Amino acid sequence: MRLIFDAHLDIAWNAMSYDRDQLLSVDEMRAREANMTGPSRGNCTVSLPEMRRANIGLSLVTVLSRAMPAKMPDAYPSPGPGIGKRGHSEVILRESLDFANQTICCANGQGQLAYYQLLQQQGHLRMIRDAKALDVMFDAWPGSPTNIAPIGVILSMEGCDPIIDPAGAQWWWQQGLRTACLAHYGPSAYAMGTGGDGPLTASGRDLVRQFDQLGVILDLVHTADTALDEALDLYQRPVFVSHGNCRALVPGDRQFSDDQIKRIAERDGVIGVVADCWMLTPDYRGDGPTKTVHLDAVADHIDHICQLTSGTRHVGIGSDLDGGFGNEETPAELRTIADLQKLDAILSSRGYSDADIDGIFYGNWLRFFRQTLPGG
């Protein structure tokens, strides 16, 4: 069984918003939710025991909290349906993500940080702050589905609303924040996110400069096209995409264009492919009990990135499992996160070598963060 480095899991958000005890098995969490309604209830795919069963020894884990903008920044065009006027009836967003302002949002984000800190104190996780700690965790990982070793995690932020102003990035850095993307869905204080287009705000430009100075690694996921171009010009370090697929295969601004993928590869970045059906196949509207999307579709996106970048160096896994959806919205063969291991046989059947698959499963992320974390 190969080691997996998963570049995007919302562990604390699931605990704090869905009240999911991440120390339970997936079966136990599903049983607790058997009579609940709502997105993914009874269909969760991730817990710390299940990550160990999947041989996921390393992961980026998020702080995910979002603030409603006080007003739409003048530079942004009118957004499309379901993205713009947060808090109004026409908005189709997960309500548990949104808070009235950045102060409340920051407090919620600090609660998620505290959850990770408690899990570390209890010996379940170990926060990775620098390249040396990354190597220690990699070398120590037992590689057994029954191991109880702490999982190595790098603290990430999905949308920077919990950073109240650019100067606040220093505090988060001191707490261990090492990667961040500027926005999530719709506009934020710093940039337009998925669902619209627009530039960085003035505060967004300041925040990117702060990240560059501190060493916070810029994640381009969810960043609108215009803001992404501007961020690439401002930020001088390597960049990456924690969880994103290919726009050439699935149209839409949530995915990445061929030109963007090439530009990220030119900065020696890595793109983590996502295991959510609507990002794997065009026009997905939900299959119900009959699954028409298969894990082969994940391999299709891996293939496309490899063809664009002339090799396997720039692609990894960023599953986003339990990111507001459960196995009702995953490929047919993927019932829990442990089923990511099935990609091994699929990639092998397509001619990928053992070294190639090791790179996709963990090696590319390991190399990237060895180079970009402090001391790298």
| pLDDT tens digit sequence for 153-194 | 999 999 999 999 999 999 999 999 999 999 999 999 999 999
Q: Which parts of the chain register pLDDT below 50?
A: 75, 77-95
pLDDT for residue 96: 60
What is the signed CA dihedral for 69, 71, 75, 78, rounded to 10 degrees? 90
Q: Would the pTM of this model clear 0.85, i.e. be above it?
A: yes
pLDDT for residue 197: 95
pLDDT for residue 39: 80
Helix, strand, coil abundance in the chain, percent, nearest 5? 40, 15, 45
Question: What's CA 205's distance to the chain center, in Å?
Answer: 22
pLDDT for residue 94: 40
pLDDT for residue 41: 92
Taking the C-alpha atoms of residue 231 and residue 225, their distance in angstroms, rounded to an integer, is 10
**Owner of token pair 């291991």:** 341
b/e code 249-274 from CB counts within 10 Å (16+ = b): bbeebbbbeeebbebbbebebbbbbb
Taking the C-alpha atoms of residue 191 and residue 6, their distance in angstroms, rounded to an integer, is 26
b/e code 320-340 from CB counts within 10 Å (16+ = b): bbbbbbbbbbbbbbbebbbbb
CB contact set of 361 (below 8 Å; sequence gap of 6+): 2, 3, 4, 5, 316, 317, 343, 344
Strand partners, 63: 157
Domains held by the chain: number? 1
| pLDDT tens digit sequence for 220-231 | 999 999 999 999
Structural domain containing residue 84? 4-372
pLDDT for residue 89: 34
- Kindly report the CATH number assigned to the domain that includes residue 277: 3.20.20.140
